[in-house]
Amino acid sequence: MSRRPDDRTALRPLMAELSGRFERSDRAWRRLMDPKVLARFRREVDETEEHLRSTQCSDAQLDRARSLAAELLVAARLLESGCEVEHEVRTPSGRHVDFRARREGAVLCIHVKRAPHPTLRDAQAVVPASWRTLETVDRGLVVALALARNLRGRALLAALDEAFAFVEQAQVGDEISFRDAEARTAAKLRVIAPSTGRKVELVPDLSASFDDHVPRFQATLRKGFAQFMPRSENLIVVCGSSGGIEPFATALLGSHIERWDRRPRAGELVAYGRGGDGFWAGSMRNQSRLAAYWALAAGSGPLLFLRESGTRASTSRAVQLARSVFA
């Protein structure tokens, strides 16, 4: 798969932001983390910034830039929160925890993972104004639009009439295709999730292989789970593009399904829940209770998922530490 031409442009401001944070806080952070590790991080940031400025930046260097950015985002957040931080802590099984953070008696082990590679490339897609008219429909749904060909005139009007009828009755998972005059598929709508709003939310179909990304994210989560520190609270942080948030949530929590055993929101006929195909489904992997997704972009922040509240005092402190740092 070829590299998008703006990959370096997207990463440059993030690396510049991280470089400034590590430079400004170097003296203070030396009390919280091994100075040798901090020095190595700063050296790697400088080298990466140089690579990103070069027109000869290789795929391997770009890939390393993403991995380094993910690691440094987490390290900076921990240090800025006043945590004492250890890097690359060995587990009894011979694996390693990326960071072990301590603060006020709480201990949290953090595993930093890169999102599956294809999700790091968001399509530069926009929703045409003509299709935005669907957002007047009073349905709390997120609908993805994929456009293969432009529709104009009567073909567009006919497609929109059919699209309005579709979104007025569709449920999560439903989809519809629209064809041009030559019977070629020109557009597709798919209902991907319930919305927090009261009207249809139309989004570009950033990933035509959304269903392929979900198992890839689950494989990423399993890798993090395999590195868990026993008898500790562990957090998996997955870093990728903003386009990966929805497939990550689906991989973690399960597919959106209709739940007839729950009361729907006021004014709605259907209640939505999550299916049993998620990484956290049922009692599976009950040692895993914390996960986060973080977009690799300047000024971004993590989205923390909490499976359940802690029951032991030490666990409760670790969960509260995770909340205070990553929520």
Domain ends where: 205, 235, 251? 205
Claim to verify: residue 11 and residue 102 sit in the same structural domain: yes
Claim to verify: residue 104 and residue 221 sit in the same structural domain: yes
Claim to verify: residue 268 and residue 321 sit in the same structural domain: yes
Claim to verify: residue 196 and residue 216 sit in the same structural domain: no
For 190, phi and psi rounded to 5 degrees? -140, 130
Claim to verify: residue 84 and residue 143 sit in the same structural domain: no
Q: What is the pLDDT of residue 167?
A: 95
Claim to verify: residue 140 and residue 195 sit in the same structural domain: yes
Claim to verify: residue 219 and residue 298 sit in the same structural domain: yes
* Nearest residue to 288 (alpha-carbon basis) of 244, 246, 240, 226: 226
Please state the domain count of the chain.
2
For 198, phi and psi rounded to 5 degrees? -100, -10
Q: What is the pLDDT of residue 256?
A: 63
Claim to verify: residue 272 and residue 235 sit in the same structural domain: yes
CA distance 243 to 16: 22
Return the amino acid letter for 308: E
Answer whether 190's CB lies under 8 Å from 255's CB. no
Q: Is residue 218 part of a domain?
A: yes
Domain holding 175, by residue range, is: 129-205
Q: Is residue 79 part of a domain?
A: yes
Q: What is the pLDDT of residue 94?
A: 95
pTM: 0.75
Q: Give the CA diameter of the chain.
A: 68
Mean pLDDT per segment of 10 residues, for the chain of length 327 residues? 56 94 96 97 95 87 92 97 98 97 96 77 69 94 86 90 95 88 85 85 69 83 96 95 83 70 48 71 85 93 81 70 94
